[in-house]
A and B are shown apart, each in its own frame.
Chain A
């Protein structure tokens, strides 16, 4: 309710600073919003305490009010964090409050950045708080692909070195069991298995990221057992839903990281493409996965059997993936017309 601050003795000492949208100096404000009177009041007190650099309980409480009306306010969060540290507040309590705000504003990113700012304090959080991952799973219960939560979780893994903790893999498995198409969970799994770990090693979306192009994505040291396990894992998920793009992409990433050839999966991919033969000649094809067709096209191109590669790409273009007709034409052109270097690129792309 507007007037809450004006009539509160606690705020007597503060002269609120009203919004100056420039109208007095001849400006015509753009993107004007029909603000609620309460919002105008609370932000006028926020400007006043910020101008005074006030670090106080009442200012902390005020930021909470602003945040519930406008959680995307980019300085109020920085101000709040500064007050928390200045007053030596209990950050565990702050996390609990954040939990309720996070569940209310699912799409907001500042909340998660603030959480990261708090969690960065080694003094307060020398180890991962016990309930942290449970809360993240609660968030995933609301939206299992919430980008901000996943970004935060990546950061947590790196910060607390959680790659090999059983809990990380368990949570990923749980999420993939309930939705095998959860690409965020697939991505997290890749990071757990193949992400950089060294303290001085920069973060990167692929192993060996800043290496020359031919080395990029390849692990310097390969654990072949791990690679085999991950490829089997991907296979087990592909047969659940062969049109699911995520595990196919995951497998390509694994092959690339290991420096191994897509040819290893020729037989597996072939099982999704049944040729109907009459007198030993193929008269029709039954296809169970477009991604298997593309895999075979890449395999054939690597084997220098460009006619077979083109046949696969043409099936995609004409029968199974018409939305990408122009793209498949582009790929056919690469296989047929362009230099061998480009064919290689297309094959491994």
Chain B
């Protein structure tokens, strides 16, 4: 799959002053090395509880650039692995940061709820270990698999942590469903026969919950009847993909079956997320409504003469009257483009085997010319400083399009294929 998907686009070819944009690999290596080996600025304090996720971005970012094993020593990688295990809680699973840990000697049955394993962090901890080449032999695998069903609610969804009295805490959103299913995938492998004694999650209920999150416009929302959102759409399809990869005889859900209404309306919704509205025009109000057509027409449709009102509407510009050079992705209908949505949408299309439907050239132009930062990394949107999340997701979106200088990426594990191959060498995957 090349970055051009074949057809070059007309606009780019007819623009003589357009220089070919460049993926500034050396700068990105420096950026990720800095994030890996030096302190992140104090601004990240509000993300302290997400340190495992930040660690994933830093380690995996360098891995995607093909430099993890060149730019770090064996001792460093061993030290990173030790830190991940330092985040494992005694009862199985991983905490999201060391800040909740009050020490093994003080931990009791009555206070352990304040230092719980965290569902997304457990997934990311495991993936980091795999990227670093660890064999997961010190992972409390069975305990972790036993903990997962305790995180599932009656409606099929997953929570974030177990609180006091084993109560499932945290929102009921699809992020937790995805990483619950992901952790199950990583640790169950092909070992189903040996795990018969271990209670599994309720797969059918989880599938039903995800299906209930699809909205009338085809996208998937955080929970039933919320607004469709690309991040949650990724998580929903990610969870279904994890479940599907482990089951030989499960009936395929509609959301993953080409030709069904569920599948095709989701494809349409994902394709509709690509947008040339970048929010970078100078006179626009930050974050509020998008550039608008005239709204001078009367609101009460019933009271006006149809024909008259249609005459007043402007004709749309065509490709030849208004060339479009950049097109990123938004995460919801009528929002501006944002670097991370170039990932959430294209990764979902990749899992659905529909990646070829996006406009790869214009996405590349957007990422490289509009949000790639001069010091390395990517910002959230035009003119923003780089941060770890957007830097990582900007690169992954480019990697899906075959950008030179990046490893290929598995869309559901969100890590390099090299790392996935290592996963599959572990004993329960053979």
B384 close to A (CB within 8 Å): no
Min CB distance, A77 to chain B, in Å?
9
Q: Are A182 and B334 in contact, with the CB atoms below 8 A?
A: yes
Given contacts A30-B80, A232-B302, 20 further A-B contacts (CB under 8 A): A19-B98, A27-B85, A31-B35, A31-B54, A50-B102, A78-B164, A113-B170, A113-B171, A147-B332, A196-B225, A205-B216, A210-B211, A236-B300, A239-B304, A241-B295, A257-B216, A322-B11, A323-B359, A325-B359, A342-B259
Q: Are B260 and A213 in contact (CB under 8 A)?
A: yes
At the interface, yes or no: B416 with Cβ under 8 Å from chain A?
no
Q: Is the CB of B332 within 8 A of A183?
A: yes
Q: Contact between A288 and B313 (Cβ–Cβ < 8 Å)?
A: yes
Residues of chain B within 8 A (CB-CB) of A6 are none
| Interfacial residues of chain A within 173-201, with CB under 8 A of chain B in the complex | 177-184, 187, 190-191, 194-196
B301, A232: Cβ atoms closer than 8 Å:
yes
Q: How far is the CB of B370 from chain A (nearest CB, A)?
A: 15
* Contact yes or no, B115 A34, CB < 8 A: no
A129 vs B65: C-alpha distance when bound (angstroms): 53
Are B316's CB and A243's CB within 8 A? yes
Residues of B within 8 A of A20 (CB): 98, 101, 103
Is B103 within 8 A of A17, CB to CB? yes
Given A70-B49, A210-B212, A256-B216, residue A36 in contact with residue B42 (CB < 8 A): yes
Which of chain B's residues have a CB closer than 8 A to the CB of A105? Answer: 46
B335 touches A240 (CB 8 A): no
> Which residues of chain B in 2-40 are interfacial with respect to chain A, using CB atoms and an 8 Å cutoff?
5, 7, 9-11, 35-36, 39-40
Q: How far is B225's CA from A194's CA once the two chains are assembled, in angstroms?
A: 10
Contact status A324-B212, CB under 8 Å: no
Task: Pick the 10 closest A-B CB pairs, nearest first.
Answer: A28-B79, A253-B216, A236-B301, A203-B224, A30-B55, A22-B86, A31-B54, A27-B82, A50-B114, A27-B83
The yes or no answer to B91 lying at the interface (CB within 8 A) is no
Q: Bin the interface of chain B by size.
A: 35 or more
- Inside 8 A of B99's CB, which chain A residues have their CB? 19, 43, 47, 73
B274 in the interface (beta carbon within 8 A)? yes
The A-contacting residues of B in range 92-147, CB under 8 angstroms, are 96, 98-103, 106-107, 110-111, 113-116, 118, 128
- A320 to chain B: which residues have CB within 8 Å? 316, 318-319
- Residues of A88-147 at the interface with B, using a CB-CB cut-off of 8 Å, are 105, 109, 113, 143-145, 147
Q: Which residues of A contact B215 (CB under 8 A)?
A: 187, 190, 205-206, 253
Q: How far does the alpha carbon of A271 sit from the alpha carbon of B110 in the complex, in Å?
A: 68
CB-CB < 8 A to A183: which residues of B? 227, 332-335
Query: With A28-B76, A182-B334, A326-B359 known to touch, is A72 a contact of B224 (CB < 8 Å)?
Result: no
> Smallest distance from the beta carbon of B401 to chain A beta carbons, Å?
13
CB pairs A–B below 8 angstroms (13 shown): A30-B128, A47-B99, A73-B48, A143-B288, A183-B333, A205-B212, A213-B260, A249-B216, A272-B310, A322-B319, A324-B272, A327-B271, A345-B260
Q: When each residue 273-309 of chain B gets 1 if its CB lies under 8 Å from chain A and 0 otherwise, what string results?
A: 0111000000000011110111101011110101101
A1 interfacial contact with B, CB 8 Å: no
B residues near A272, Cβ cutoff 8 Å: 310, 313
- B313 contacts A239, C-beta separation under 8 Å: yes
B268 within 8 A of A: yes
Distance between B80 CB and nearest chain A CB, rounded to angstroms: 6
Give Cα A47–Cα B292 distance, bound, in whole angstroms: 51
Name the distance in Å between A258's Cβ and chain B's nearest Cβ: 12
Asked whether any CB of chain A lies closer than 8 Å to the CB of B203, the reply is no
Given contacts A205-B212, A239-B309, contact A150 B226 (CB under 8 A): yes
Residues of B within 8 A of A327 (CB): 267-268, 271, 357
Contact: A203 with B217, CB < 8 Å?
no
Answer whether residue B374 sits at the interface, using C-beta atoms and an 8 A cutoff: no
- Output the nearest chain B residue to A150 by Cβ-Cβ distance: B227
Q: Mark A16-37, 1 if CB is under 8 A from B, else 0.
A: 0101111001111111111110
Question: For residue B412, which residues in chain A have a CB less than 8 angstroms away from its CB?
Answer: none
Most buried by B among A32, A82, A183, A290: A32
Q: How far is the CB of A216 from chain B (nearest CB, A)?
A: 7
| In the complex with contacts A74-B96, A187-B227, A250-B216, A341-B5 CB distance below 8 A | no
Interface string of A281-297 (1 = CB under 8 A from B): 00000111110000000
A150-187 contacts to B (CB < 8 Å): 150-151, 154, 177-184, 187
Instruction: Report the separation of the CA atoms of residues A241 and B309 in the bound assembly, to the nearest whole angstrom.
Output: 11
Roughly how many angstroms separate A241 CA and B314 CA in the complex, as a whole number?
10
A22:B333 contact, CB within 8 angstroms: no
> Closest CB of chain A to B163's CB: distance in Å?
5
Complex CA–CA separation, A91 to B11 (angstroms):
59
A141 CB to nearest B CB, Å: 10
Question: Using an 8 Å CB-CB cutoff, how does the interface string of A230-259 with B read, 1 for contact, 0 for none?
Answer: 001001110111111110011011001100
Chain B residues lying within 8 Å of A36, measured Cβ to Cβ, are 42, 45
Q: Please, which residues of chain A bring their CB within 8 A of the CB of B356?
A: 326
CA distance A181 to B334 in the complex (A): 6
Nearest-neighbour CB distance to chain B for A40, whole angstroms, equals 10
B100 touches A69 (CB 8 A): no
- Judging by beta carbons under 8 Å apart, are A209 and B212 in contact? yes
B264 within 8 A of A: yes
B404 within 8 Å of A by Cβ?
no
Q: Is B238 among interface residues, defined by CB-CB distance under 8 A?
A: no
Tell me if B199 counts as interface (CB < 8 A to partner A). no
Q: Contacts A22-B86, A109-B171, A213-B260 given; indicate if A17 touches B163 (C-beta within 8 A).
A: no
Are A17 and B106 interface neighbours, CB within 8 A? yes
B161 touches which of A30, A75, A150 (Cβ 8 Å): A75
A50 to B99, CA, bound (A): 12
Question: Is B301 a contact of A26 with CB atoms below 8 Å?
Answer: no
Give chain A residues whose Cβ lies under 8 Å from the Cβ of B268: 327, 349
Q: Does B59 contact A (CB under 8 A)?
A: yes
